[in-house]
Amino acid sequence: MPACRLLGEAGCPMRIANKGFIVPELIAPPVKHTLSAYGVWLFTDKNPTLKKIKKRVAPSVHGDRHWDSSYLLMDYFSEHRPRKNTRVLDVGCGWGPTSIFFALQGCKVTGMDVDTDVFPFLDAQADLNAVKVEKLICSMKQMKKKDLANYDVIVGGDICFWDELADEWFAMLKRAASAGVKKLVLADPGRQPFLDLIDKCDKKWPTEHLIWLALQPKKFEGSLMIVTLND
Ligand SMILES: C[S@@+](CC[C@H](N)C(=O)[O-])C[C@H]1O[C@@H](n2cnc3c(N)ncnc32)[C@H](O)[C@@H]1O
């Protein structure tokens, strides 16, 4: 058997074979112990590069794996493709699954995280996918209006899990709106601080709450908050 992975679920790469049959495309993983989601290659637990990084650093604010909400963002933006060169800020980027997805779409991406220890994982996975992601070690509180003016879209996956994070988000979004950022798309399993943030945003900007389903690398249902900060 060749070292290939068959991707056959909805949304996976497909090709038209002889006589017009549609069959899943054979995609060879770049290295062993990786998985694919929406065109992004990510390390699995047994990957030797991942194991080496884990020996060196230990993220301490939950940036210790890929979180499923990132797949919700990938699925949503596979349907609502961002324009090339869109400037994207991935807040609480962790190991970078969402940042890498946007970089593969031709966006200019900055992965921002308060925890410096997540970045060796992001760097290694950006290399695996042959993309460039700018890095910013920063908390939401520290992002000033002039910093936020550098972005068109803000995204985040699983980064509204404490009440104080909902407060930080709301304060940062007010600065982002006055800095000209157009849109926020935040994904979450549906925790209370995330739902509270939706209520607060809804009073200030056009805000949607969507229940969304990701199909790769496995089925995962969660919530998306979409806020139009500027038209
Ligand atoms: C649950 S992880 C999600 C990581 C990534 N978004 C994903 O989907 O795999 C949350 C991340 O947010 C970061 N974080 C927590 N509080 C933050 C803050 N106030 N500002 C920026 N990043 C923060 C953590 O260091 C961690 O990497």
Q: List domains and CATH numbers for the chain.
A: 5-56 (no CATH), 69-228 (3.40.50.150)
Which of the pair, 21 or 48, is modelled with greater confidence? 48
Angstrom distance (rounded) from CA 162 to CA 18? 53
> Among 61, 141, 223, which residue has the most ligand 1 atoms within 8 Å of its CB, making it the best to mutate?
61
For the segment 69-124, what is each residue's pLDDT rounded down to a tens digit?
A: 999 999 999 999 999 999 999 999 999 999 999 999 999 999 999 999 999 999 99
For the segment 114-150, what is each residue's pLDDT rounded down to a tens digit?
A: 999 999 999 999 999 999 999 999 999 999 999 999 9
In degrees and rounded to multiples of 5, residue 171 shows phi and psi of -65, -45
Please give the pLDDT value at position 18: 53
The Å distance, Cα 6 to ligand 1 centre, comes to 32
Q: Are 143 and 172 in contact (CB under 8 A)?
A: yes
Angstrom distance (rounded) from CA 186 to CA 194? 9
Closest CA relative to residue 95, chosen from 126, 140, 56, 60: 126
Query: Tell me, what amino acid is at 156?
Result: G
> Among 62, 71, 95, 112, which residue has the most ligand 1 atoms within 8 Å of its CB, making it the best to mutate?
62
The Å distance, Cα 64 to ligand 1 centre, comes to 9
Q: Are 67 and 91 in contact (CB under 8 A)?
A: no
Tell whether the model's pLDDT for residue 41 goes beyond 50.
yes
Closest CA relative to residue 7, chosen from 34, 43, 45: 34
Nearest CA to ligand 1 atom 7: 67
Provide CB contacts within 8 A for 121, sequence distance 6+.
43, 50, 53, 59, 63, 94, 95, 96
Please give the pLDDT value at position 28: 83
Nearest CA to ligand 1 atom 4: 94
Q: How many CB atoms lie within 10 A of CB 137?
A: 13
Percentage of the chain exceeding pLDDT 90 = 85
Please give the pLDDT value at position 23: 56
DSSP per residue, the chain: --S-EE--STTS-EEE-GGG-EEEPEE--SSSSEEEETTEEEE-TT-HHHHHHHHH----SS-SS--THHHHHHHHHHHSPPPTT-EEEEET-TT-HHHHHHHHTT-EEEEEES-GGGHHHHHHHHHHTT---EEEE--GGG--HHHHTT-SEEEEES---SHHHHHHHHHHHHHHHHHT--EEEEEES--HHHHHHHHHHHTTS-EEEEEEEE-SSS-EEEEEEEEES--
* Least confident interval from 9-13, 140-144, 178-182, 210-214: 9-13
Please give the pLDDT value at position 29: 86
Q: Are 95 and 69 in contact (CB under 8 A)?
A: no
Please give the pLDDT value at position 6: 36
- Average pLDDT of the residues in 205-229: 97
